[in-house]
């Protein structure tokens, strides 16, 4: 392990405590929490705990300032035009549902939504529900070479009735990063909006939503070295303004009578009830820490590790890789399956050797079908992973084959 990797691991309490006994390669499911996020949450709960955006007493004001500061940190991470474009949710799933429910009101029967066959269920089922409730058509971007999205038929797929294209920014199974440029171009040509599910891209460095040219972006805190129970919806100000709330209740209104409620402006309109304040504070610190890292350097290191991991896996007989073989435009997520062996058994053998990775369909069953398997084992790397982790994984896979085959 390099000095750089060792120094990083010391900043993640669970990894620091585990020493060399844990090879954590399930970062696409949940990353480890950074000490800055954990400390900020503990500090907040000990010294600044109060409800936000409601009371005028000092503690409530301190809590409100901390909460709004976190909103600003998220806005910086995404290069959003204004902190008010940031809505805190309980996670990427909740953020996607929020947008889908708003579109149920904004769409007319016969309108269309475009998603892809590679989506996580969280960016598929809400749109299926919208189809069933609002009579909206669903169309799918297919898989192409190297299990990347095939965008060549976009013009035929995205027609005049398309209201929204909702795609994964990076696949949680193949690691492929979506080429967003042509998607935005085609959306603009027909007046549709673009949503990116950034759950797997955000953990790999700051995102520039304005440079991407998209309209909505979602991600989860627990995959970005922050706490669980909090996530983000970013939306262009004018679009959030036009959206109805999906959840209603306290904190999201200006005036209420027995007959009606006047909703507050975004982001409060979408944050009914007491929000996850300490979690937002922790996430803000995690993202601020991420924003200070040298990402080009980290990317080069992780691309090297990913290339070595792929090369090592390809040397294992009867192993199939699910995704692009090259290190171009991909995040360090590598899925594979072994003929005749179930991924759960493979992962269990690896767990016994201290290597944590996940097996199964990864909440992407249509993608599994398109790949021709029902389950894969997935190794997902984060910035604290090193050569030792890749070596342990490759040795573990060879051992699994020896035991199970
Ligand atoms: N989208 C993608 C691509 C994901 O990988 C995940 C998490 N596995 C989600 C959405 C949902 O995230 P969460 O469970 O944190 O809401």
Task: Tell me: do 43 and 132 sit in the same domain.
Answer: yes
Task: Tell me: do 274 and 145 sit in the same domain.
Answer: yes
Number of domains, the chain: 2
Q: For residue 46, how far is its CA from the centre of ligand 1 (angstroms)?
A: 30
Q: For residue 367, how far is its CA from the centre of ligand 1 (angstroms)?
A: 15
pTM beyond 0.85: the answer is yes
Residue 30 lies in a domain: no
State whether the beta carbon of 278 lies less than 6 angstroms from ligand 1.
Answer: no
Task: Tell me: do 143 and 212 sit in the same domain.
Answer: yes
Task: Tell me: do 237 and 335 sit in the same domain.
Answer: no
Final residue of a structural domain among 264, 291, 318: 291
Q: For residue 102, how far is its CA from the centre of ligand 1 (angstroms)?
A: 20
Residue 33 lies in a domain: no
Task: Tell me: do 104 and 189 sit in the same domain.
Answer: yes
- Give the pLDDT score at 327: 76
For residue 86, the cross-strand partners are 234
Q: For residue 47, how far is its CA from the centre of ligand 1 (angstroms)?
A: 32
State whether the beta carbon of 343 lies less than 6 angstroms from ligand 1.
Answer: no
Residues 268 and 54: their CA atoms lie apart, in Å, by 11
- Give the pLDDT score at 328: 80
- Catalytic residue numbers, as ranges: 363
Tokens describing residue 187: 């959306």
Task: Tell me: do 231 and 183 sit in the same domain.
Answer: yes
Residues 34 and 277: their CA atoms lie apart, in Å, by 18
Final residue of a structural domain among 273, 291, 309: 291
Task: Tell me: do 100 and 232 sit in the same domain.
Answer: yes
Task: Tell me: do 17 and 152 sit in the same domain.
Answer: no
Looking from the CA of residue 91, the nearest atom of ligand 1 is 16
For a mutational test of ligand 1's pocket, the pick from 123, 172, 276, 335, i.e. the residue with the most ligand atoms closer than 8 A to its C-beta, is 172
Residue 189 lies in a domain: yes
3-state helix/strand/coil string of 118-140: CCCHHHCHHHHHHHHHHCCEEEE
Q: 374 is in which domain, residue-wise? A: 3-25+294-404
Residue 283 lies in a domain: yes
Beta carbons of 274 and 251 less than 8 angstroms apart: yes
The pLDDT profile of the chain, 405 residues, written as one tens digit per residue, is: 788 999 999 999 999 999 888 999 999 999 999 999 999 999 999 999 999 988 889 999 999 999 999 999 999 999 999 999 999 999 999 999 999 999 999 999 999 999 999 999 999 999 999 999 999 999 999 999 899 999 999 999 999 999 999 999 999 999 999 999 999 999 999 999 999 999 999 999 999 999 999 999 999 999 999 999 999 999 999 999 999 999 999 999 999 999 999 999 999 999 999 999 999 999 999 999 999 999 999 999 999 999 999 999 999 999 999 989 887 889 999 999 999 999 999 999 999 999 999 999 999 999 999 999 999 999 999 999 999 999 999 999 999 999 998
Q: If you write DSSP's letter for every residue of 152-216 in order, what string do you get?
A: TTHHHHS-TTEEEEEEESB-TTT-BBP-HHHHHHHHHHHT-EEEEE-TTTGGGS---HHHHT-SE
* CATH number of the structural domain spanning residue 287: 3.40.640.10
Task: Tell me: do 217 and 268 sit in the same domain.
Answer: yes
For a mutational test of ligand 1's pocket, the pick from 27, 90, 120, i.e. the residue with the most ligand atoms closer than 8 A to its C-beta, is 120
* CATH number of the structural domain spanning residue 298: 3.90.1150.10
């Amino acid at each position: 392990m390099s000095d750089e990797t060792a120094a990083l691991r010391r900043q993640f309490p669970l990894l620091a405590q585990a020493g060399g006994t844990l090879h954590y390669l399930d970062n696409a499911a949940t990353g480890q929490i950074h000490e800055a996020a954990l400390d900020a949450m503990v500090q907040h709960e000990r010294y600044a705990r109060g409800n936000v955006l409601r009371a005028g007493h000092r503690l409530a004001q301190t809590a409100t300032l901390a909460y709004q500061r976190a909103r600003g940190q998220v806005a910086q991470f995404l290069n959003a035009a204004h902190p008010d474009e940031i809505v805190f949710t309980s996670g990427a799933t909740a953020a996607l549902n929020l947008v889908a429910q708003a579109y149920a009101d904004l769409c007319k029967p016969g309108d269309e939504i475009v998603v892809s066959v590679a989506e996580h269920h969280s960016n598929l089922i809400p749109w299926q529900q919208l189809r069933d409730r609002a009579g909206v058509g669903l169309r799918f971007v297919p898989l192409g070479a190297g299990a990347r999205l095939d965008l060549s038929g976009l013009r035929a797929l995205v027609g005049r009735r398309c209201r929204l294209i909702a795609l994964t920014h990076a696949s949680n199974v193949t690691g492929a990063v979506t080429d967003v440029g042509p998607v935005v171009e085609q959306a603009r040509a027909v007046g549709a909006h673009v949503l990116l599910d950034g759950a797997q891209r955000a953990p790999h460095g700051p995102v520039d939503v304005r440079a991407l040219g998209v309209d909505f972006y979602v991600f989860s805190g627990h995959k970005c070295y922050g706490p669980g129970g909090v996530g983000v919806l970013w939306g262009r100000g004018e679009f959030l303004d036009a959206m109805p709330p999906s959840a209603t209740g306290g904190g999201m209104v200006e005036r209420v009578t027995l007959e009606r409620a006047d909703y507050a402006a975004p982001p409060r309109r979408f944050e009914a009830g007491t929000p996850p304040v300490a979690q937002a504070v922790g996430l803000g610190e995690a993202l601020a820490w991420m924003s200070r890292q040298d990402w080009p350097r980290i990317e080069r290191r992780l691309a090297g590790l990913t290339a070595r991991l792929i090369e090592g896996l390809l040397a294992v007989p009867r192993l199939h890789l699910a995704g692009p073989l090259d290190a171009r435009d991909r995040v360090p997520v590598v899925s594979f399956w072994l003929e005749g062996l179930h991924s759960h058994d493979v992962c269990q053998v690896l767990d016994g050797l201290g290597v944590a990775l996940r097996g199964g369909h990864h909440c992407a069953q249509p993608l599994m079908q398109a790949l021709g398997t029902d389950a894969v084992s997935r190794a997902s790397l984060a910035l604290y992973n090193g050569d030792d982790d890749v070596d342990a994984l490759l040795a573990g896979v060879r051992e699994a084959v020896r035991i199970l085959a």
